[in-house]
Amino acid sequence: MPLIQWNNDLYSVKIESIDKHHQTLISLINQLHEAMREGNAKEIMDGILHELNDYTIYHFNAEEDLMRSHNYPMEEYTFHKEQHEEFKFKLSELVEKYQNEEILISIETSKFLKEWLVNHIQKVDKKIAGIINY
């Protein structure tokens, strides 16, 4: 069973493109978790981590563009962007530390990624649909 299973009722933000992005992020976190459990080679883990890092940046930019183009309330936008910046920082730090062999990817790593994403989708991303009114 994958670490995170897509569930429309729990995770859909009612915007198709954003849901697709979230499904891709979930799939990458699941891949990382599986690779860690199976003890895959460092190159494989490195590849998944880089993809996760790049896709996260791409996705956050897309959400921020969407909010800006719909005149999202400034306070909400700033808060949302701050959450993204914080996670981007943590993720890039993780990738760097793993590359420099300062840390290993563990269950705690998968759990952290899972909890951050699920929590962010449910508490912050879901507000987007309500405000831009798709």
Rule CB under 5 A: which residues touch Fe ion? Answer: 63, 125
Residue number with CB closer to Fe ion (66 or 95):
66
Residue number with CB closer to Fe ion (44 or 57):
57
For residue 82, what is the enclosing H or E element? helix 74-99
Report the chain's terminal Cα–Cα distance, integer Å: 33
Residue number with CB closer to Fe ion (46 or 82):
82
Closest residue to Fe ion: CB criterion: 125
Look up residue 54 and give its two tokens: 């790049």
Look up residue 60 and give its two tokens: 């956050």
Q: Least distance to Fe ion from the beta carbon of 63, Å?
A: 5
Look up residue 21 and give its two tokens: 């992005």
Q: Least distance to Fe ion from the beta carbon of 96, Å?
A: 23
Q: Least distance to Fe ion from the beta carbon of 46, Å?
A: 24
Q: Least distance to Fe ion from the beta carbon of 103, Å?
A: 25
List Cβ neighbours of 33 (8 Å cut-off, separation of 6 or more): 2, 3, 110
The residue type at 13: V
Residue number with CB closer to Fe ion (36 or 52):
52
